[in-house]
Amino acid sequence: MVTAFAAMLEAAGSPARLATPADLRIATLAAIRAADGSRRFDHAWFRFGLFPLLPALIAFRLHQIIVFGGACGEWMTFGARAWLTGLAIWWAAWAIGLMLFAAALRLVIEGLTLAASRQGIAAAVHARTMASRMARIVYFTLVPVVLIASLP
């Protein structure tokens, strides 16, 4: 797959070359990543923008009830600007936390893909596809489940 692409580049007169074994390895891993076509929920705006809003709203509402005695207590006490700033802080905190969690899951996926690539490209593509699916399930279900389980 990768060597055929490199041969086409060379035949076309391109100066790009896979000069070292490390270059070939990196190109192979990039081809394996490109072969994983399941990217429906991988858009950054959804994964790191919209999805963190779900736990942030739950945690923010709980914070409002505990600190201000109601869901809009801060709004009534300090105004809309303070309430919206508080919500933005909670959303940003959850977004950063979920980005770090996604990065940890990505490390696991890349490690499994690298280990499976020693078995061949087909095995690596299969391992990456399965690991990505499991990571999506963990990311999109474990976070709400843990949050709901931790509520009083």
Instruction: Categorize the per-residue pLDDT at 9 as very low, low, confident or very high, splitting at 50, 70 and 90.
Output: low
**Can you tell me the mean pLDDT for 93-121?**
92
Is the pLDDT higher at 72 or at 7? Answer: 72
Task: Answer yes or no: pTM beyond 0.85.
Answer: no
Q: How far apart are the first and last CA of the chain?
A: 54
Whether pLDDT at 109 is above 90: yes
Give the integer Cα–Cα distance in Å for 152 and 4.
59
CA atoms within 13 A on the CB side of 3: 3
**pLDDT at res. 85:** 96
pLDDT in tens, 22-77: 666 677 767 666 666 666 667 788 888 999 999 999 999 989 999 998 888 889 98
**pLDDT at res. 11:** 76
pLDDT in tens, 118-146: 898 888 888 988 998 899 999 999 988 98
Token pair recorded at residue 105: 């899951």
**Can you tell me the mean pLDDT for 85-113?**
95
Instruction: Report in angstroms the alpha-carbon separations of 144 from 43, 47, 48, 96.
Output: 19, 13, 14, 16
